[in-house]
Structure 1
Amino acid sequence: MGIEVPAGCVANEVQAVRRLVRGYNRAHSSVADARELVVVARDAQGVLVGGAAGETWGEVFELEYLGVSEPWRRQGVGSRILACAEAEARARGCRRVVLDTYSFQAPDFYPAHGYREVTRVVGFGDGAAKHFFAKELEG
């Protein structure tokens, strides 16, 4: 067996590692209902301008990505995407959402939507910090 750090990791390798870990998690937990949750926002021409992606497991929605393209920011698109993702998570039986974001991304966005900061890790490049948030979903 050889172990290496590829010179240029390709998307297929990242996806393969992700599938490996998620497969293990599903096989070794009592949660059989883990599912991807994706929300997309499109403009009038059908071009994707934002979206969210994560996974629901039992009572938890882990929001991994939420982004809006630059021309569409500060117009409520992110808020609408987040609300839609939370509604779908709630419909799947989730009672809470967990997520993380960097200080140069959107650490002020989430508290404005009812999230509380659980912890913060400092020491990333350029003085960046990683913020971890959670929110209890209302029934």
Structure 2
Amino acid sequence: MKIELDSSPKISDIEEIRSHLRKYNDEHLEGVVEQPVAIYVYNDEQDKITGITAEIWGNWLHVKLLWVAESLRGSNIGTHLLKQLEEHAASQGCQYAQVETFSFQARPFYEKNGYSCQMTLENYPVSTAVHYLVKKLRREYG
């Protein structure tokens, strides 16, 4: 047996380890499949200027990225996209939503939209914090 520390692993090496973990997880998660989902807003030139990405995994919607162009901030487009995403997730059987956000990002936005903070990691990665928020999706969505 050989043990090696690799301070610059290749993507293929990481994917090899990930595939082993996924195979193990699948045996215990009864084949729950991750389903990526996204909503985009385009400008007149068809450039993506705002969007939200997520994964549906079993009963959960995991919001991954939400970006609102500076010119659209304050227009409620972020709230509109989040609600549209939650409605879609609920229609797919999701009962809960989860998001993580840095202390300098959007915690108040998510709380305004019904999310509650379940955990905070202080000094992450150095001098900021990361907040983990969850929300029970309303039945009216489903």
Q: TM-score, normalised by structure 2?
A: 0.80
> What SS is found at the alignment partner of 2:93?
coil
Pick closer, same or farther for the CA change 1:105–1:17 going to 2, 3 Å: farther
> What SS is found at the alignment partner of 1:25?
helix
1:43 deviates by: 2.0
- Summarize the alignment of residues 118-129 of structure 1 with structure 2, pairs less than 5 Å apart: 118-124=118-124, 127-129=127-129
Pick closer, same or farther for the CA change 1:79–1:15 going to 2, 3 Å: farther
Q: Which runs of 5+ in 1 are unaligned?
A: none
Give the structure 2 partner of residue 72 of structure 1. Answer: 72
1:113 deviates by: 0.4
Moved more, 61-70 or 118-127: 118-127
1:86 deviates by: 0.6
> What SS is found at the alignment partner of 1:4?
coil
1:126 deviates by: 6.2
Q: TM-score, normalised by structure 1?
A: 0.81
1:27 deviates by: 4.7
Rounded Cα–Cα distance in structure 2 between residues aligned with 1:102 and 1:128: 7
Pick closer, same or farther for the CA change 1:125–1:19 going to 2, 3 Å: closer
Q: Please tell me the residue identity of whatever aligns with 1:62.
A: H
Rounded Cα–Cα distance in structure 2 between residues aligned with 1:19 and 1:111: 33
Moved more, 28-37 or 52-61: 28-37
1:39 deviates by: 1.5
Is the contact between residue 31 and residue 58 of structure 1 (CA under 8 Å) also seen in structure 2?
Answer: no
Question: Cα deviations across residues 35-54 of structure 1 (Å, max 9, x unaligned)?
Answer: 11212121233211111112
Percent sequence identity over matched residues? 24
Is the contact between residue 31 and residue 57 of structure 1 (CA under 8 Å) also seen in structure 2?
Answer: no
1:127 deviates by: 3.1
CA RMSD of aligned residues (A): 2.6
Question: Cα deviations across residues 42-80 of structure 1 (Å, max 9, x unaligned)?
Answer: 123321111111211111111111111222222212111
Is the contact between residue 26 and residue 34 of structure 1 (CA under 8 Å) also seen in structure 2?
Answer: no
Bigger radius of gyration, 1 or 2? 2
1:116 deviates by: 0.7
Q: Please tell me the residue identity of whatever aligns with 2:108.
A: D
Structure 2 residue 141 is the aligned partner of structure 1 residue 134: no
Q: Please tell me the residue identity of whatever aligns with 1:16.
A: E
